[in-house]
Amino acid sequence: MTQEAAARTGDIELRLFLEAMYSQYHYDFRGYSRASLKRRLALACQRLGCSTLSALQERLLHDDRILPQLLDYMTVQVSDMFRDPAYFRALRQHIIPHLKTYPSLKVWVAGCSSGEELYSLAILFREEGLEEKTMFYATDVNGNALARAEAGVYALERVALFTKNHRLSGGSGSLSDYYHAAYGAARFDQTLRRRTVFSDHSLASDSVFGEMHLISCRNVLIYFDRPLQDTAVGLFRDALVRKGFLGMGARETLRFNAHAKAFTEILPQERIYQKRGETEDPCAR
């Protein structure tokens, strides 16, 4: 088979595999960015001993025990606490003062993976005195990742970086106040997630959560193709209150998104957007 034909076959296999996963398990990866997904599925094939994606599809259809493992390959779970400290510093300095004017708050960490972003925000909100009036919603499509997020246990060797990031983000206390170390792991204070609802949710196929004041969805949309990015940002627009905030990853932008006009770029450097009001009434919140 020529290289050209093999590439075409690979594309067909990928399309069929994603259809199979959706038809049988309702996990919808059909709108994921192909370039990165291809790499991760190639890795899954290699590690799971399948010579082709078609072979992996056969296993997927006939053995559901492989599904959680596959989801770990297909979703990217790389994050650090207080990743991009400038983002958290900007939240502290510019967004928290707005949020303080509300009687109660809802924060959605969309695509929370193993929870680093959630605990970062929970710590920040505690430090800023907002924890008691805030509900957090942490969602992901990957059930394994959600379980890890709920546990809040991270390898101890990662904590040095978390600590440095926390300090650079303008953290008032010491990060060590929020975890205890044992057996090579740092277990984060379970009271930090007292006000968090963990939920299995797909930005590709599930509907909207209501009345959010802040949505933090960083380095999640980069794995989506443009139509799915449009869908997800449309979901965020509908989920946010008027003048609610959307935080994105350091290299993500709404510039190429169909819903860009629904937001103002309030802190462009830190990729923090604000949903426009229906009318731009300066007195409105």
CB of 240 to other proteins, least distance (A): 21
Q: What is each CA distance from 197 to 31, 150, 184, in whole angstroms?
A: 26, 9, 28
Q: Please state, as a whole number, how many other Cβ atoms lie within 10 Å of the Cβ of residue 41.
A: 22
CB of 70 to other proteins, least distance (A): 15
Using CB under 8 A as the binding rule, whether residue 16 contacts other proteins is answered as no
Using CB under 8 A as the binding rule, whether residue 4 contacts other proteins is answered as yes
Helix extents (H) in the chain = 3-25, 34-47, 53-62, 67-74, 85-90, 96-99, 116-127, 143-151, 159-168, 226-239
String of DSSP letters for 212-239: EEEEE--SSGGGB-HHHHHHHHHHHHHH
Binding residue for other proteins, selected from 222, 241, 258, 260, defined by CB under 8 A: 222
Closest CB to other proteins among residues 35, 155: 35
Closest CB to other proteins among residues 7, 284: 7
Binding mask 227-246 toward other proteins (x if CB under 8 A, else -) reads --x-----------------
Environment class of 155 (CB within 10 Å of its CB; exposed 0-12, middle 13-18, buried 19+): exposed
Residues within window 249-278 making contact with other proteins, judged by CB under 8 A: 249-253, 255-256
Task: Give percent helix, percent strand, percent coil of the chain, each to the nearest 5.
Answer: 50, 20, 35
Using CB under 8 A as the binding rule, whether residue 144 contacts other proteins is answered as no
Exposure class string for 232-249: b at 16+ Cβ within 10 A, else e: bbebbbebbbeebbbbbb
CB of 245 to other proteins, least distance (A): 20
Closest CB to other proteins among residues 55, 222: 222
Q: Side chain identity at 266, as an amino acid letter?
A: I
Query: 């957007």: which residue's tokens?
Result: 273
Binding residue for other proteins, selected from 34, 180, 194, 242, defined by CB under 8 A: 34
CB of 226 to other proteins, least distance (A): 6
Using CB under 8 A as the binding rule, whether residue 181 contacts other proteins is answered as no
Binding residue for other proteins, selected from 203, 214, 221, 240, defined by CB under 8 A: 221
Q: Please state, as a whole number, how many other Cβ atoms lie within 10 Å of the Cβ of residue 166.
A: 25
Query: Residues in contact with other proteins, total (CB under 8 A)?
Result: 27
Closest CB to other proteins among residues 19, 252: 252
Number of H helices, E strands in the chain: 10, 10
Q: How far apart are CA 12 and CA 26, in angstroms?
A: 20
Using CB under 8 A as the binding rule, whether residue 12 contacts other proteins is answered as no
Binding mask 39-78 toward other proteins (x if CB under 8 A, else -) reads xx-----------------------------------x-x
Strand 153-155 versus strand 185-188 pairing type: antiparallel
Residues within window 76-135 making contact with other proteins, judged by CB under 8 A: 76, 78-79
Per CB under 8 A, residues contacting other proteins are: 3-4, 7, 33-36, 38-40, 76, 78-79, 219, 221-223, 225-226, 229, 249-253, 255-256
